[in-house]
Amino acid sequence: MKFTVAIDGPAAAGKGTISRQIAARFGFAHLDTGLIYRAVGAKVAEGMTPEAAAEGLVPEDLERGDLRSLEAGQAASKVAAIPAVRAALVEFQRRFARQDGGAVLDGRDIGTVICPGAEVKLFVTASPEVRAHRRWLEVGGDASQVLAEVKERDDRDMNRADAPLRPAADAVTIDTSEMTIDAAVDAACAEVLRHQRG
């Protein structure tokens, strides 16, 4: 059975948590596509060209312990703006999405570019202030600086020429600003069930 759930949204909106919960609940494979870009960014920081890092990416690269840092996130956003990097990683993601047994992918352009034919498309968002507070709870530091970085990343992701962050026309939006994580997961799972039955 091939069944793809595409989940997009800005940083710290909750899409990763929701994606992992859907995967666990339905027995789907899960790919955090942001990790792909973080892994490429980490390889670039070690001296590789962005194109070589993307073309040579292997699944083991996604298991590095340093991919969740704020620096890795910023590096990911920068390499993700390079068309040659995005092109090299598209097929990797599409193969994952259509594997037997179902798959959940979360990122910035899954429903719009990577898997426009996904059975379920969700756009998970929250206000910049809420997302910055969540990120600050994770990484600490200066709260105003974290908010500035969230807004800067949003601007870069939404205004890049290639595959900008935006909801697919047929995506269901889940705004987690005022939701508990359980309520957000339940709303997302209800959409998956609706399409499985439909």
Binding-site positions read: 9-17
Q: Which parts of the chain have pLDDT scores under 70? A: none
Amino acid at 112: T
Q: What is the C-alpha end-to-end distance of the chain, expressed in Å?
A: 15
Binding-site positions for ATP read: 9-17
Can you give the pLDDT at residue 68? Answer: 83
Can you give the pLDDT at residue 95? Answer: 86
Phi, then psi, of 124 in degrees rounded to 5:
-100, 125
Can you give the pLDDT at residue 105? Answer: 97
Can you give the pLDDT at residue 149? Answer: 93
Can you give the pLDDT at residue 51? Answer: 95
Can you give the pLDDT at residue 98? Answer: 93
Can you give the pLDDT at residue 34? Answer: 83
4-197 topology per CATH: Rossmann fold (3.40.50)
Q: What is the pTM of this model?
A: 0.84
The residue ranges of every structural domain in the chain are 4-197
Can you give the pLDDT at residue 1? Answer: 82
CA 61 to chain centre: 17
Can you give the pLDDT at residue 197? Answer: 87
Phi, then psi, of 172 in degrees rounded to 5:
-95, 125
Sequence-ordered alpha helix ranges (H) in the chain: 15-26, 33-45, 50-55, 70-80, 83-97, 128-139, 143-159, 181-197
